[in-house]
Amino acid sequence: MTRLNTLTKGIAASIILGGVALNVTSATAGGTHKGGHAFGEAGDPSKATRTINIVMHDNYYEPENITAKPGETIRFTIKNAGDFVHEFNIGTAKMHAAHQEEMMMMVEHGVLEPDKINHEMMKMDMGNGQTMEHDDPNSILLEPGKSGEIVWKFTEATSLEFACNIPGHYDSGMVGQLSVKKPDS
Ligand SMILES: [Cu+2]
């Protein structure tokens, strides 16, 4: 049995028994905590100095490269122009790898369908006060035709990725480079 199957069974058990804490959540993946990350935090919309429009296609982003400055607050407006559900998630490559496991479980449990998000299932308490809901300020999950926005404050110079962690999408090219650097470096 693969590790993933074991994790999946763990979730199913939590739902049925209403017990056992689940260790794999977006809140803990990559050593993050609610609302804050080493590379930044949820931004104050009134402090956003720039808006970047992102269009999500099957399976790539437009644009595929973004540059931000340390200390800058950016408003990202995101539109899903594809036929499938897509995600815009800002993080490190390591965070995305961890998130891909969660997304796989969501698909296996029917929470995520190729072109649809089962919002009611997402809100289901897994027995430890945690849900599969994606309310992390660094990510947004959109159904086909939907739009949304994220306001993020970048704090330090670093190399990040924006990515879609729905099974298969990252590997087929749904990832872009986001470099946070001082203007003259
Ligand atoms: Cu995608």
Q: Specify the number of domains making up the chain.
A: 1
Q: What is the CA(3)–ligand 1 centre distance, in A?
A: 23
Residues 90, 175: contact at Cβ < 8 Å? no
pLDDT, position 160: 97
pLDDT, position 52: 98
Q: 132 — phi, psi (to 5°)?
A: -90, 10
- Residue 25 inside a domain? The answer is no
- Residue 99 inside a domain? The answer is yes
Rg, C-alpha atoms of the chain: 16
Q: What is the CA(173)–ligand 1 centre distance, in A?
A: 9
Residues 120, 24: contact at Cβ < 8 Å? no
- Residue 168 inside a domain? The answer is yes
Environment class of 169 (CB within 10 Å of its CB; exposed 0-12, middle 13-18, buried 19+):
buried
- Residue 22 inside a domain? The answer is no
Neighbours of ion ligand 1 (CB under 5 A): 86, 164, 166, 169, 174
pLDDT, position 10: 39
Q: What is the CA(119)–ligand 1 centre distance, in A?
A: 18
Q: What is the CA(17)–ligand 1 centre distance, in A?
A: 32
Q: What is the CA(63)–ligand 1 centre distance, in A?
A: 14
CATH number of residue 77's parent domain: 2.60.40.420
pLDDT, position 88: 98
pLDDT, position 36: 65
- Residue 24 inside a domain? The answer is no
Q: What is the CA(181)–ligand 1 centre distance, in A?
A: 27
- Residue 5 inside a domain? The answer is no
Q: In the chain, which residues have pLDDT < 50?
A: 1-34
Q: Look up the domain containing 149 and give its range.
A: 41-180
- CA 27 from centroid of its chain's CA atoms: 11
pTM, full prediction: 0.79
- Residue 1 inside a domain? The answer is no
User: Which one-letter amino acid corresponds to residue 43?
Assistant: G
